[in-house]
């Protein structure tokens, strides 16, 4: 099938190079007809088998043309051709179908058909088997792992995809609870995702898009009034505001035909006094705006207020660049307004400095009124994750689950095939006794307990299952070009391995190095040579995972042979611990002609042994020339694969976490002027976490 696609590409090249013929215009009764003027001639040849024997009755046709002929007893054929007929397709029972290319000057084409060795291009359906560790018919989970395993839509066919090929993306998310379930709305999805536990997500299509090739449903807003759910997208042209009381029916009605405000990145907030407010704006020049709006027609009731503007000269984390290190190219962007009310205070949230950076984060201002004035919270940014496998957590939304616990859902950077290639992450959030709003991203890309668990302190969400796969050696069935197996375990979502094909003969084997207790697995698929644009509901991955103690005898662990769900970041929580050293992943089906391709294979659990030692010689030196920067250093710990750097504005408020794998230095550029900070560090190993180091204070 891949050879077939390659020849189709060749066809396009040959067609483009063919001579341009003239046309004649024929006047019809209703319209004019343009008929190409072409030169016709015969192309002849002989069709034989592998031994050179002629094949009688072989079908010869021009690719994509209804015209065909059959060979005679000597294997001869003759086809009328023009310069545009560049590909001959030949079929004979029991032989491989062959597509033969010719130049326009070539009049004789002889074709040999080999014996057919491959079966159907469609993989056979196999019933998945239940094992001790995984039952495909009963796989409810109690944990989750970022990035969220949702059916990220593919970018429409546009200039963003022409250079690097098909890619998935979504961003700018907001979540809410509605009628006992959780709803997730985000950019370019053509609908929404929903869940009962924040782990297992389904998708429901809705007719929100007006320009499907232009992603017009960007950064949507959704809000609940009574029993009604409202929705609208970003717009400078005036999109409808839709509403429904049964969103999963797929039918939404229009509350208004056009929103009157130029609300890019909107959020609509219903206060508990019944008043409705709208916040919007995405710019590196203008402040985010807020206004009270009518509950009847959503037009402005109050004057429009300029709320807040970025101050990168004071707030290091608001500076542009991958590591807040670019103050030349562009000014940073402020966007993604959101409002949360807690204990009578209004927490205005915003994203900065750019969605394509690992430092993308959400900050907070606090006020006593929905339209301000607001005061910059000293603990900022509120959500921040510049390290680890999943990086970035900006332009998001905060919501309470059914047990009253807060969560923050935000945009994660990928930015590999295109700068706006992104994923979505979910993190526990809370307000401390001093009213400080904070989001815990420590172990945010490790297994954490989901919303079925009533956990009040966000740090208690982490299961304690450590990463077992960092830099572990892999052998693979094949590699396409330079996309090597080393990328499968480098904890970098922006690198990937690809097999040479997408067939069921492709596989991965991984050596964990020793006997491990595996509790969960995450397969992060990627798109290499995939042919898919926009939403499709027939996308699914099928594979099997096997385990071995010696790398020779294998036991089936996870069987997804008949999976029909779209699981691009498939997370598997095992029913019981798996003790193994080797893992093997066997491909069965990849969607949309794509190769067997993954950015990372991750396993979580524990290894028996002592905990890593406390990190020593931990230093944080603030840059005297620019107090927004600090250089952090420490000495390596034996057996550690990574480190978590914690910091905050007080010894008991070390809410920020930066995960560093395979290094002992970090260049920190996200500090605020006028603020003292406190830092400590822990080592991460397959046996667990080290004790925290002593806290280091740096003055402002």
Specify the pLDDT at position 215. Answer: 66
**What is the residue whose two structure tokens read 């341009």?**
20
**Domain range for 386:** 162-458
Q: Report pLDDT digits (tens) over 553-612.
A: 999 999 999 999 999 999 999 999 999 999 999 999 999 989 999 999 999 999 999 999
3-state secondary structure of 160: helix
Residue 1 binned pLDDT confidence (cut-offs 50, 70, 90) = very low
Share of the chain above pLDDT 90, in %: 84
Q: Clarify whether residues 267 and 375 are in a common domain.
A: yes
Whether 149 maps to a domain, the answer reads no
With a cut of 60, say whether residue 6 has pLDDT above it. Answer: no
Inside any domain, residue 83: yes
Let me know whether 682 and 593 are in one domain.
no
In a domain, 228, yes or no: yes
- Predicted local confidence at residue 126, as pLDDT: 78
> For residue 121, is pLDDT > 60?
no
Q: Report residue 118 as tokens.
A: 């491959």
Residues 306 and 383 in one domain: yes
Mean pLDDT of 3-14: 47
Segments of 287-344 assigned E as strands: 288-293, 305-308, 335-342
Q: What per-residue string of b and e applies to 343-370 under the rule 16 or more CB within 10 Å gives b? A: eeebbbbbbbbbbbbbbbbbbbbbbeeb
Residue 144 located in a structural domain: no
Within this chain, do residues 235 and 370 fall inside the same structural domain, yes or no?
yes
Which tops the pLDDT comparison, 96 or 117? 96
Same domain, 269 and 167: yes
Burial call 23-54: b when 16+ CB within 10 Å, e when fewer: eeeeeeeeeeeeeeeeeeeebebbbbbeeeee
What's 240's domain CATH number?
A: 2.115.10.20
Altogether, the residues listed in the chain come to a count of: 700
Claim to verify: residue 199 and residue 297 sit in the same structural domain: yes
**Res 17 pLDDT > 50:** no
Who wins on pLDDT, 163 or 669? 669
Residue 188 has pLDDT above 60, yes or no: yes
Are 184 and 307 members of one domain? Answer: yes
- pLDDT, tens digit (0-9, with 9 covering 90-100), for 39-81: 899 999 999 999 999 999 999 999 888 889 999 999 999 999 9
d(CA 337, CA 364): 10
Closest CA to 665 of 651, 648, 649, 645: 645
Give the pLDDT score at 192.
96
- The secondary structure of residue 607, as a DSSP letter, is -
**Residue 268 lies inside a defined structural domain of this protein:** yes
Mean pLDDT of the chain: 93
Domain boundary residue among 575, 606, 637? 606
Both 397 and 480 in one domain: the answer is no
Judge whether 143 lies within some domain.
no
Task: Assign 287 a pLDDT band (cuts: 50, 70, 90).
Answer: very high
Which residue, of 606, 641, 663, is where some domain finishes? 606
pLDDT classification of 14: cutoffs 50, 70, 90 = very low
Residue 673 within a domain: yes
Model confidence at 358: pLDDT above 90: yes
Domain containing residue 86: CATH number: 2.60.40.1120
Nearest alpha-carbon partner for 291 in 280, 345, 346, 258: 280
Q: Are 661 and 644 in contact (CB under 8 A)?
A: no
420 and 355 Cβ atoms separated by less than 8 Å: yes
CA distance 363 to 337: 10
- Give me the pLDDT at residue 117, please: 72
pTM of the predicted structure, to 2 decimals: 0.88
What are 461-495's pLDDT values in tens digits? 999 999 999 999 999 999 999 999 999 999 999 99
CATH of the domain at 585: 2.60.120.260
The reply to whether 596 and 643 lie within a common domain is no
Nearest to 379, CA basis, from 335, 429, 334, 423: 429
591 and 634, same structural domain?
no
pLDDT digits (tens, 9 = 90+) for 292-349: 999 999 999 999 999 999 999 999 999 999 999 999 999 999 999 999 999 999 999 9
> What is the per-residue pLDDT across 190-237, written as a single tens digit (0 to 9) for each?
899 999 999 999 999 997 877 777 666 899 999 999 999 999 998 777
Is 402 contained in some domain? Answer: yes
**Number of domains forming the structure of the chain:** 4
Phi, psi for 661 (deg, rounded to 5) = -105, 135
Q: Which residues does residue 194 pair with via DSSP β-bridges, in sequence order?
A: 183, 202
Residues 280 and 176 in one domain: yes
Sign of CA dihedral 99, 102, 108, 110: negative
Domain boundary among 112, 147, 173: 112
Helix (H/G/I), strand (E/B), else coil: 159: helix
Residue 8 is predicted with a pLDDT of: 46
* 429 shares a domain with 339: yes
């Amino acid at each position: 099938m891949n050879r077939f696609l390659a020849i189709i590409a060749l066809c396009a090249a040959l067609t483009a190079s063919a001579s341009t013929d003239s046309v004649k215009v024929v006047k019809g009764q209703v319209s004019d007809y343009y008929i190409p003027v072409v030169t016709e001639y015969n192309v002849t040849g002989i069709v034989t088998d592998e031994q050179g024997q002629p094949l009688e009755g072989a079908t010869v046709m021009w690719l994509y043309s209804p015209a065909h002929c059959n060979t005679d007893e000597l294997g001869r054929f003759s086809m009328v051709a023009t310069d545009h007929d560049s590909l001959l397709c030949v079929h004979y029972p029991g032989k491989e179908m062959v597509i033969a290319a010719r130049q326009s000057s070539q009049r004789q084409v002889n074709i040999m058909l080999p014996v057919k060795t491959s079966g159907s291009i469609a993989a056979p359906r196999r019933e998945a088997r239940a094992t001790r560790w995984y039952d495909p018919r009963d796989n409810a989970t109690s944990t989750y792992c970022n990035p969220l395993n949702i059916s990220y839509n593919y970018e429409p066919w546009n200039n963003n995809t022409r250079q690097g090929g098909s890619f998935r993306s979504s961003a700018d998310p907001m979540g809410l609870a509605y009628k006992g379930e959780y709803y997730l709305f985000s950019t370019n999805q053509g609908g929404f995702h929903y869940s009962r536990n924040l782990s297992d997500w389904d998708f429901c299509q809705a007719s929100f898009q007006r320009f499907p090739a232009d992603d017009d449903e960007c950064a949507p807003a959704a809000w609940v009034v009574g029993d009604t759910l409202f929705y609208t997208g970003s717009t400078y042209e005036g999109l409808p505001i839709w509403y429904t009381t049964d969103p999963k029916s797929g039918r939404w009605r229009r509350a208004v035909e056009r929103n009157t405000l130029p609300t890019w990145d909107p959020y609509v907030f219903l206060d508990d006094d019944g008043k409705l407010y709208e916040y919007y704006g995405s710019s590196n020049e203008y402040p985010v705006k807020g206004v009270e709006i009518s509950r009847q027609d959503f037009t402005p009731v109050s004057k429009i207020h300029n709320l807040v503007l970025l101050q990168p000269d004071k707030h290091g984390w608001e500076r542009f660049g991958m590591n807040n290190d670019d103050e030349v190219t562009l000014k940073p962007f402020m966007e993604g307004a959101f409002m949360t009310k807690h204990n009578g205070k209004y927490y205005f949230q915003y994203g900065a400095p750019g969605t394509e950076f690992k430092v993308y984060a959400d900050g907070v201002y606090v006020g006593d009124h929905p339209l301000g004035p607001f005061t910059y919270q000293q603990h900022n940014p509120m959500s921040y994750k510049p390290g680890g496998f999943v990086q970035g957590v900006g332009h998001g939304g905060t919501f309470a689950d059914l047990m009253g616990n807060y969560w923050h859902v935000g945009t994660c950077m990928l930015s590999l095939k295109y700068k706006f290639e992104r994923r979505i992450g979910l993190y526990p959030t809370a307000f401390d006794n001093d009213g400080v709003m904070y989001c815990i991203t420590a172990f945010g890309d490790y297994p954490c307990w989901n919303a079925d668990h009533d956990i009040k302190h966000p740090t208690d969400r982490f299961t304690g299952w450590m990463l077992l796969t960092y830099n572990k050696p892999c052998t693979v069935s094949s590699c396409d070009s330079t996309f090597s197996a080393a990328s499968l375990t480098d904890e970098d979502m922006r690198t990937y391995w690809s097999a040479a094909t997408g067939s069921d003969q492709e596989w991965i084997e991984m050596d964990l190095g020793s006997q491990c207790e595996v509790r969960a697995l995450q397969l992060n698929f990627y798109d290499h040579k995939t042919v898919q644009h926009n939403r499709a509901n027939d996308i699914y991955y099928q594979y099997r995972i096997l385990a071995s103690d010696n790398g020779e005898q294998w036991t089936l662990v996870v069987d997804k042979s008949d999976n029909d769900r779209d699981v691009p970041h498939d997370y598997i929580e095992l029913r019981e611990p798996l003790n193994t050293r080797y893992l093997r992943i066997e491909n069965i089906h990849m969607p949309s002609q794509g190769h067997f391709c993954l950015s990372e294979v991750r396993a979580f659990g524990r290894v028996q042994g002592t905990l890593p030692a406390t990190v020593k010689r931990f230093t944080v030196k603030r840059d005297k020339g620019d107090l927004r920067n600090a250089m952090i250093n420490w000495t390596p710990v034996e057996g550690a694969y990574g480190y978590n750097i914690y910091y905050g504005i007080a010894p008991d408020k070390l809410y920020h976490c930066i995960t560093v794998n395979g290094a002992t230095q970090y260049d920190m550029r996200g500090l605020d002027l006028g603020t003292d900070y406190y830092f400590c560090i822990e080592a991460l190993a397959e046996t667990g976490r080290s004790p925290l180091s002593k806290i280091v204070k740096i003055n402002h």
